[in-house]
Structure 1
C-alpha cells in the first residue's frame, strides 16, 4: 500500500512541524536516505561502504578557514532533548547508513555544535534534530552540507523533499522499523568534540583581560547546560573570574518552566528576577538549541536584539578596523551609526540564515547580526552561535570598564524602537501595499530588500510578511523621539486591522 506523507514541514530553511503529522520516525528515515543520495550527487567521487558507523576521533580535523581538501565520508548528527529527538536520530542514521554514509553520533548537542563538528571533521554534512523554541508537540531538523554550508529551499532542501516524496511511494520504505533498526542503532556510542569546541569559543576573546563578573545563566531546561559546565570548568582552570548563577539549568524535554523561548515576555521574568536577587552583572538566556542568546543588563532590563547587534559590531570593529558587518533591514540606524563610528562598513540584507551566510561569504564579512538574536561569525564558518556573543560582550564589558546598561543606554535613547510587533491578517500582501500607498509620497527613501522599509526622516519603519504564517511583522524606530515612536507605531497598527 502506498504511503502518503505530509511534507509541509519542509520550510525555507529547515524541516519542522507537528509530531506525528509533519514529522515522524518514518519521515526521518526517508530524509536520511534522501539526504545521503543528495550528498552523493553533490560529491560523485565518494567510495561508499554501507552500514558504517563512527564512534572515534580518527577523522582528520579542520579549523580556521574553509578547506577545499578531501571530505570524509561522514555525516554528523546531534539532537536536542525533546522526547522524540532520539527516535528521529535513530531513523535518520538508519537511512544514511543504508545508502552507505558513515555516521558520527554527537549525542545531545546544540545546533552550533553540529556546525562545528561538520567543519572539524571535514564531514559531507550535518543534521541537528531540534524544534528549538517551538511548542512541545513540535520537532524538526536543520541540515547543512560541507563546511556547515546552509541547506535552504533553493540550495538543496527542495531537492531532498522531492527525493523523499518519490521514496514514500516505494512499498518497502517501512523496512527500517523493528529488529533491524534496533540491532544497528543501539550499539551506537556518542563522539564528543566538546573540548575542541570550547577551545574554539575561547579563541574569540583575550581571556587574561576578563574582569570578575557574576552572570545569571538560564538555558530554559534546554541543552546549553553541558557547554556552560564545560566553560565553567575551563574558566576555573584558566583562573578567569566568572561566576555562574544557574537557573532552569537541568535539561528536561518536558520543559517544566515553559518552552525555552526568551522572546516571550513572560519567560523573561525569571531571568530578570534572578539578576536582581543575586546582584548579578548581567543575565543570559537561550532558546532550546542555544543558537540564540538573549541579554539582560545589571538592572534586569531585557536588551533588544537590535542593540546587541550594534554592540557586537563595536566589539568586532575594535578588533579589526575597516571590516564589513551585515545586518537585517528591520531596524538599521543604530548599527549603521556604530559601524561608521568605529571605521567599518555595514551592509543590510534580507533576514534569514541562508541569505545572510551567503552574503557574508560574498563580502567576507566578519560578523552578521539579526535583531531576532541570530549572530553569525566568519571564523565560525559564517554560522550562527549563541555562545560566542556573550563571550565577546563580557570581554567588551571588561575592557571598557562599563556595565551592559552603560554600553547600551546611549543607543537605546538615540534610536528608540518598537521591537517586533506581529499582526495576524487575512491578506498580508494587500495590507502591506495599502501601508506603502499611505506613506510612499512622504518617504525620503523606500527599500524593498525585505518587505518594505520607509525612511521618513525622523522616523522609519519596516513591514514584512512571515514566510510561514499569515502574519505581518512591524518594526518602527525614531531619532531619539519616544513620543513620536509611540504615535507612529499606533498609527501604522491602526492600518493593519
Structure 2
C-alpha cells in the first residue's frame, strides 16, 4: 500500500493513487487505535473528492468504536474550534489546503486541538494502517453537528462591534470555503463586502486558491482599486491562512501583518507574550515591546509555534507565512480572526492600511522570503555561516542560522521537503543596505552551489 501521503505534519497526496476512500477508512481505524479517541470531529473542504474521503474516514472511525460528529463542509479552523469547544477527543479535517485540485489530505488533532504530527502519533497511525483490523465490539455512532453559529459568535468576541464603522472590503475566497463564513459574519458587521471568486467550487475555475502565488493576487488587487475598498483579503482553500491588500491594491508581506496583529492584540490584553518565527524579527520585537509585551522566538512550523504558545501561555503567535495563532482559539491558527482585528484597527484609528504598514516597512525594510534550489543545502549554509559570523553581533540556530549585525540581519534555512534554501534579509531603516546584502548573499549562495 502506498503511504506516501503521510508527511511531517499532515497527510497530502494525489487522489486516488496516494489517497482514496479505502485508505481513508483504514486511517480512521488506525487513528482510534493509536489515540484511543472516543469522540471525533470530522469536517471536509470544497474539493470534489472530500465528501467520499470523509465518509470513508468516518466509517473507519466508527468501526473502531469512536463516535463521529460530522460538521460537514468547513474550514480547517472549524475542526480546531469544534474539537476544543465541545471538548472532543480529537478532530480530523479532510483537506489538501492549496495543493492541486486532484490532491487531498488530512489534518489531525487530539484533545484541546493539539496537533498530531510525525513526532507524536502520525507515524504510528501510518504504521498501524499496514496491519489487519478487527471491528470494535460496539460500533461508534454518527451525529451531524452544527458549529457555524457557535464559531461565528466566537469570532465576533475578538472585536468591539460598537467601534466598527461602515467600509468596503474586498474578499476573495478563491472558490474555497471562506465565502460561507463571510456570508454569516456579514449579518453582524457594518461592512460592505465585494465578493470575488466567492462560491465554493472544487473545480477551482479560477485556479487553486493560493494567494502566495503572485498570479493569484491580481483579481483581489484589481477589485480593491475598482471598488475603492479599504482593504482586500484573500484566503487559501481551507482558509487557515489569510493575505492582505491595502487600499491601493498592494499585497502586504505577512511579516508586517504579524507586527500589526501583535500590536492590536496587546492593546486589548494590556501585555502578554507573543510568539514569532526567526525569519524576520526586528519589526515584531519592536512593536511588541512598545505595546508592553514580550516577544519570544520559536522554530518555524505550526506544531512548534502551537507548543511554544502553550508553554508560554502566549496571547498571540504569528508566522510571516500568513499563519496566525490565538490563545483563546485553542492556540490554533485562524484565517478569520486576523482580518477582523485589522478591520477593527482601521475603524478605531481612522488610518488607512497603507499608512499603518508604510511606517513599518520604512523602519524595517525586508527582502521577503527568497527560495533557491541548492544541491547541497547543509554545506552551503555552513559556508555562509562561517563567512558571515565573523564580526557578527549574534548567531542563532533556532531555525537554520540567523546572523545579526547592528544595522542588518538575515536568516538562512533549509526546506523540510525539498532541496531549497530560504533566505530572508532585513535592515534598520536602510532599503539600499537591505537590497545590497540580499544580492550579496544570493551571489555567494550561487557561487558555493556551482563549486559543489
The TM-score with structure 1 as length reference comes to 0.87
Q: Of the candidates 170, 173, 179, which is equivalent to residue 219 of structure 1?
A: 173
Q: Distance in 2 between matches of 1:106 and 1:349?
A: 32
1:217 and 1:285 in contact (8 A); partners too: yes
1:355 to 304, 324, 343: 304
Alignment match of 1:328 (pick from 277, 281, 291): 277
Given candidates 14, 17, 21, the residue that maps to 1:18 is 14
Equivalent position to 1:386, from 331, 335, 345: 335
Q: Distance in 2 between matches of 1:139 and 1:478?
A: 40
Q: Counterparts of 1:487 and 1:23 in 2: how far apart (Å)?
A: 46
Q: Quick one: structure 1 residues 457 and 390, their matched pair in 2 at CA, closer, same or farther if it must change by over 3 Å?
A: same
Equivalence for 1:407: 356
- Unaligned stretches of 5+ in structure 2? 447-452
Mapped pair 1:140 → 2:105? yes
8 Å contact from structure 2 (residues 68, 142) kept in 1:
no
RMSD over aligned CA atoms reads 1.7
1:481 and 2:430 are equivalent in the alignment: yes
- How far apart, in 1, do the equivalents of 2:391 and 2:23 lie? 51
Deviations 1:245-276 (A, max 9, x none): 00000111111111100011111111000000
Q: Which position in structure 1 is the counterpart of 2:449?
A: none
* 1:258 partner SS: coil
Query: Given the alignment of the two structures, is residue 452 of structure 1 paired with residue 448 of structure 2, yes or no?
Result: no
> Would the aligned equivalents of 1:460 and 1:478 in 2 still touch at CA under 8 Å?
yes
1:299 corresponds in structure 2 to 248
The answer as to 2:149 corresponding to 1:195 is: yes
TM-score normalised by structure 2 residue count: 0.95
Matched, 1:369 2:318: yes
Deviations 1:319-377 (A, max 9, x none): 12231101000000000000111111000100111111111111110000000000000
Rounded to whole Å, the distance in 2 between the matches of 1:303 and 1:79 is: 29
Q: Which consecutive aligned stretches of 4+ in structure 1 deviate over 6 angstroms post-superposition?
A: none
Q: Which residue of 2 aligns with 1:97?
A: 62
- CA offset digits 1:373-424 (Å, max 9, x no partner): 0000000000000000011111111111111111111101111111111111
Per-residue displacement from partner, 1:138-173 (whole Å, max 9, x unpaired)? 211000001111111112112211211334xx7x99
Q: How far 1:472 moved relative to its partner?
A: 1.2
Q: How many residues align?
A: 443
Whole-angstrom distance in 1 between the partners of 2:129 and 2:426:
44
**Does the 8 A contact of 1:11 with 1:468 survive in 2?**
no
Q: Which moved more, 1:108-117 or 1:451-460?
A: 451-460
Q: What does the per-residue CA deviation read over 1:270-318, in whole Å, with 9 as the maximum and x for residues that have no partner? A: 1000000000000000000000110001011111100000000100111
Q: How does 1:233-244 map to 2 (within 5 A)?
A: 233-235=187-189, 241-244=190-193
| Superposed CA offset, 1:84-136 (max 9, x none) | 11111011111101111011111110000001111122111000010111122
Instruction: Establish whether residue 206 from structure 1 lines up as the match of residue 160 from structure 2.
Output: yes
The equivalent position to 1:74 in structure 2, one of 21, 34, 39, is: 39
Q: Is the 8 A contact 2:62 2:142 kept in 1?
A: no
The corresponding residue for 1:310 is: 259
* Whole-angstrom distance in 2 between the partners of 1:431 and 1:26: 43
Q: Secondary structure at the match of 1:368?
A: strand
**Aligned residue number for residue 431 of structure 1:** 380
The match for 2:116 among 133, 151, 159 is 151
Rounded Cα–Cα distance in structure 1 between residues aligned with 2:100 and 2:423: 23
Give a deviation string over 1:13-48, Cα, whole Å, max 9, x none.
1111222333222221111000011122xx6xxxxx
Residue in 2 that maps onto 1:273: 222
Counterpart for residue 391 of structure 2: 442
Offset at 1:190?
4.0
The answer to whether the 8 Å contact 1:119/1:148 transfers is yes
| CA shift in 2, pair 1:346/1:120, >3 Å | same
Supply the distance in 1 between the matched residues of 2:282 and 2:177 (Cα, whole angstroms).
34
Matched, 1:164 2:166: no
Which blocks of at least 5 consecutive residues in structure 1 are unaligned? Answer: 44-72, 174-183, 236-240
Name the SS for the 1:141 alignment partner: strand
